[in-house]
Amino acid sequence: MIDVEFPIRLRVGRLGEFIFPAGRYVYTGSARRSMEARLRRHFASAKRLHWHIDYLLAAPGVRPLEAKLSSRSECAVNRALHGEIIAPGFGASDCRAGCGSHLKYLGR
């Protein structure tokens, strides 16, 4: 779960620029190797921006609230979530399930 304190306009790498409304978001991702190391990296304040989620988490007024691990695939978890797609393609560059985005806006 991610909290965006106020609306932000953000360029997400080569994906493009999006306006992220204030509110709560859920990002579904996978780390095929070392989930703990990946989470530490995402939660670190100083890092090279590489993945889409890095751009969002580095923006002012954005903070991760919690992370949950699941034995289900990122796409299965994503499809079970209700929410709005704000940034098409976000975190889904290699998605073969047609999720559209692995970041969903849940609202305020």
Per-residue pLDDT tens for 76-86?
A: 999 999 999 99
Q: Tell which residue, 69, 38, 45, has the closest CA to residue 59.
A: 45
Per-residue pLDDT tens for 58-94?
A: 999 999 998 888 889 899 999 999 999 999 999 998 8
Question: Residue 36: its pLDDT value, please?
Answer: 76
| 46: pLDDT strictly greater than 80 | no
CA distance 84 to 78: 11
What tokens appear for 45 in the block?
A: 């304040």
pTM, rounded to two decimals = 0.88
The boundaries of the domain holding residue 41 are 2-107
Q: Tell which residue, 63, 29, 18, has the closest CA to residue 45.
A: 63
Domain count, the chain: 1
Per-residue pLDDT tens for 5-24?
A: 999 999 999 999 999 999 99
Question: Residue 32: its pLDDT value, please?
Answer: 66
- Structural contact between residues 20 and 7, judged by C-beta atoms closer than 8 angstroms: yes
Q: How far apart are the first and last CA of the chain?
A: 12
Q: Tell which residue, 27, 96, 77, has the closest CA to residue 57.
A: 27
Question: Residue 65: its pLDDT value, please?
Answer: 92
- Structural contact between residues 20 and 103, judged by C-beta atoms closer than 8 angstroms: no
